[in-house]
Amino acid sequence: MRRSLGVAPDLFGGSPACADQDDPRLDRLFGRLNVIDNGDKDEVARITAEIWSIWRQSGRPGLDMKMQEGQRFMKHGTLHSALGNFDFIVKVRPNFAEGWHKRATVYYLMGDYASSIADIQKTVELEPRHFGAYAGLGLIYLKMGNEPAALRALEQALTINPHLAGTRATVDELRRKINGPKL
C-alpha cells in the first residue's frame, strides 16, 4: 500500500521518536512557563519557542518535511496546497495534534470557520495545553461576532500560557466591553 500511494516508507514506518504533544520535556517546559517572571522576556521566548518546536516534530522525518512544506505554502498564500499537506498529515498520523492545528489555521485563512473550529477541538483533545489553538479559537469567535465565546477561549489560552501579551490585551478589552465600565 505504501508504494501504491507513492509515499516514502518513513512516513508510516516504525514507532515515532519521542516528539510532539507526548514529549516528556513538555511537562518541564510548561511548569517553567507558569512560574517564570513576566519580565524575563528572553526566557519566556526561549521556552515558548521550544514548546512550538517540539509540537511541530511528528517524530517521522517524512511527515516533518510535509509539515514544513505546508507551512511554506501557507506563508506564501498557497492555501489549497497547504491544506493538501495537512490533510495528508492528519490522515497518516491522526494523533499528531499540530497537524490538526495547522490544518485549522489554513481553514481559518480560507474563511471556513466551522472546519477550523472542528480541527481546533481535535487539537486540544490531543494536546489540552495547546495555547495557540485556544488563542486561534478566540480569533475565530471574534470574527464570528461571538465575544463571550472569544473571551472564554482567550482566557483558556492565558491560563496555559500567561505570557501572551497580545492575548492579554484582547482579554482585557473584551472584559471591559462585555462587563461594562467598573463603577
pLDDT digits (tens, 9 = 90+) for 16-53: 344 568 889 999 999 999 898 877 889 999 999 999 99
Mean pLDDT of the chain: 88
Place of cell 489553538: 133
C-alpha cell at 168: 492579554
Give the residue from 167, 164, 144, 143 showing the smallest Cα distance to 154: 167
DSSP states of 2-67: HHHHT--GGGT-SPPPS-GGG-THHHHHHHHHHHS-TT-HHHHHHHHHHHHHHHT--S-HHHHHHH
Tell me the pTM.
Answer: 0.86
Cα torsion through 95, 134, 117, 178, rounded to 10: 160
Quote the pLDDT of residue 179.
86
Q: Are 13 and 27 in contact (CB under 8 A)?
A: no
Q: Which domains does the chain have, with CATH numbers?
A: 56-128 (1.25.40.10), 129-183 (1.25.40)
Is pLDDT of 15 > 60?
no
Give CA separation, 16 vs 61, 94, 119, 157, in Å.
9, 13, 22, 28
